[in-house]
Structure 1
Amino acid sequence: MEIIKHNLDSWELKVKQKNQWTVPVSSEEIQNARMGDWSIIVTATKPVPKEWFPELSEKNVLCLASGGGQQGPVLAAAGANVTVLDFSESQLEQDRFVAERDSLPIRTVLGSMTDLSMFDSESFDLIVHPVSNLFVPDIQPVWQEAYRVLKSGGIMISGFMNPAFYLFDWEMEEKGILQVKHTLPYSELDYASEEEIVRTGVSLEFGHTLEQQMGGQIRAGFMIGGFYEDSFGGKRLLDRYANSFIATRAIKL
């Protein structure tokens, strides 16, 4: 099926529904960032450690598959030259809204995380890539392209799903039972027909293995120089037993 088109339609709907990842930051948060008081998340709840970032002033930052008016505007207010790439025009509109509201110079680009051909090699000092590669079946092109467009010594901060999250039966979890149902790597296409997926309208997700996530970054040429885990903040049953998110800090040597 047309995976990208299906997920694009899903995110356009999420913006209309004011999903939490589509709601822009406030003017107060932007003002605080201008004064040096800022943080962003690339997982669900835990802020990225401040020491993971380079000095942002005049640095070229790519917010990769990161529309929604959240990470990009904060980093721009902190002094970075920010480009936000996303496949959803509505998500990019959230960034443009904050940019106009708070007089921020943010560049928005419509495109896929797997193809950064619109950018020259070694264009960016920092890439911020919040949880989003679950929406593409093959993530190695994401890591390869990120490596290409980063400058030598550049940093990529990524958030992604712990593959263990995809092991369990979603319907049973809602009933308070964690029951293993799925194999890894996970694809919704293995458990539901194309007709069912289109009818429900939910995003089509792929649960990539740690070898594909972290090993893929290493194969692209990165050195992993930071790691932490995060949860849904107690909102999911799995939070009682394991973390569902991982964040890495990768360096282009």
Structure 2
Amino acid sequence: MDILNQNSMAWDKKVEDGVTYTMPVSKEIIEKSKNGEVEIYLTTTKRVPRHWFPESLHGLKVLCLASGGGQQGPVLAAAGADVTVVDLSEKQLEQDRKVAKRDGLKLTTIQGSMLDLHFLADETFDMIVHPVSNVFVDVILPVWQEAYRVLKNNGVLIAGITNPLLYIFDEEEEDKGNLVVRHKIPYSDLEVLSDEKLAEYRATKRALEFGHTLEDQIQGQIDAGFVITGFYEDDFGGRRMLDNYIKTFIATRAVKIKEF
């Protein structure tokens, strides 16, 4: 199965279905951002700390990577940043354009994959904002490598990632109130799901997911040339049984360092 094509269609469908992560921010949040109160999320419930950004965002060149949906991009543009949004889903990008038109914002949208940013020049951006999204690609080391390439020296990457522990449990059993260990990490829908189930995913335009190791998530950034300077955890806000036991999301702040 073509992973990128499948997940592009899946996120288009999520927009059509009005899924939470495709819903644009309100005019009120945009107005707050125009007044200096920057409110974005990389994970589910915790706001990104304000000190992860420079005091002023005016003129800051920001890449919102795999970050369509009318959320992070418009907020940062309202704060004065020069924003480019890259996303696999055209309908997710439409959400950004709608907010920009509604609130008089300027931003650039590009349909493309986080795995290959060939359409962006080296050392272009001051900051990359990358919310939880790399569970929708089967490899993530190229994501960190491309992020490093397009960032300026001392540029900042803030990223939301999924704790792979989420994927070891049988989701259907969890919905019944049972935590049953079923899968190994790294996890891949393509390896676990039957041919019949994959055919169902294709027909219903459901997203394929992948659970990456913490080594690839954290050491992968370091190997690409980043230094981790910030970290926090988050969960589903009580919507999953696992929230009673462990945080299932992580956010990192990393800086591109050319030489130590």
The TM tier, using the shorter chain, reads: over 0.9
C-alpha contact 1:66 1:72 (8 A) present in aligned 2? yes
Structure 1 runs of 4+ with >3 Å offset: none
Q: Which whole-Å CA distance do the structure 2 matches of 1:243 and 1:17 have between them?
A: 27
Cα offset, 1:195, TM superposition: 3.7
Cα offset, 1:9, TM superposition: 1.1
Q: Which whole-Å CA distance do the structure 2 matches of 1:233 and 1:38 have between them?
A: 21
Return 5+ residue gaps in structure 1 as ranges.
Answer: none
Q: Which whole-Å CA distance do the structure 2 matches of 1:95 and 1:195 have between them?
A: 35
Say what the alpha-carbon RMSD is for the aligned residues.
Answer: 0.8
Q: Output the amino acid matched with 1:229.
A: E
C-alpha contact 1:87 1:110 (8 A) present in aligned 2? yes
Q: Which whole-Å CA distance do the structure 2 matches of 1:197 and 1:56 have between them?
A: 44
Structure 1 residues 58-89: Cα deviation after superposition (integer angstroms, max 9, x where no partner): 00000000000000000000110000000111
Match of 1:135 in 2: 136
Return 5+ residue gaps in structure 2 as ranges.
Answer: none
C-alpha contact 1:140 1:216 (8 A) present in aligned 2? yes
What is the TM-score normalised by the length of structure 2?
Answer: 0.96
1:25 aligns with 2:25: yes
Q: Which whole-Å CA distance do the structure 2 matches of 1:162 and 1:107 have between them?
A: 31
Q: Which whole-Å CA distance do the structure 1 matches of 2:199 and 2:229 have between them?
A: 40
Residue from 232, 242, 245 that aligns with 1:241: 245
Match of 1:79 in 2: 80
Q: Output the amino acid matched with 1:145.
A: E
Q: Which whole-Å CA distance do the structure 2 matches of 1:178 and 1:49 have between them?
A: 32
Q: Output the amino acid matched with 2:231.
A: F
Cα offset, 1:28, TM superposition: 1.3
Count of residue correspondences: 253
Percent identity of the aligned residues? 58
Cα offset, 1:197, TM superposition: 2.1
Q: Output the amino acid matched with 1:136.
A: V
Q: Output the amino acid matched with 1:228.
A: Y
Structure 1 residues 144-200: Cα deviation after superposition (integer angstroms, max 9, x where no partner): 000000000100000010011111011110110111000000001121124412313
Secondary structure of 2:80's counterpart equals coil
Structure 1 residues 66-114: Cα deviation after superposition (integer angstroms, max 9, x where no partner): 0000000000001100000001110000000001111101100110001
Query: What does residue range 164-183 of structure 1 map to in structure 2 within 5 Å?
Result: 164-183=165-184
Match of 2:208 in 1: 204
Q: Output the amino acid matched with 1:6.
A: Q
Secondary structure of 2:31's counterpart equals helix
Match of 1:228 in 2: 232
Structure 1 residues 124-151: Cα deviation after superposition (integer angstroms, max 9, x where no partner): 0000000000011110110000000000
C-alpha contact 1:157 1:247 (8 A) present in aligned 2? yes
Q: Output the amino acid matched with 1:12.
A: D
Cα offset, 1:17, TM superposition: 0.4
Q: Output the amino acid matched with 1:56.
A: L
C-alpha contact 2:29 2:39 (8 A) present in aligned 1? no
Q: Output the amino acid matched with 1:233.
A: G
Secondary structure of 1:10's counterpart equals helix
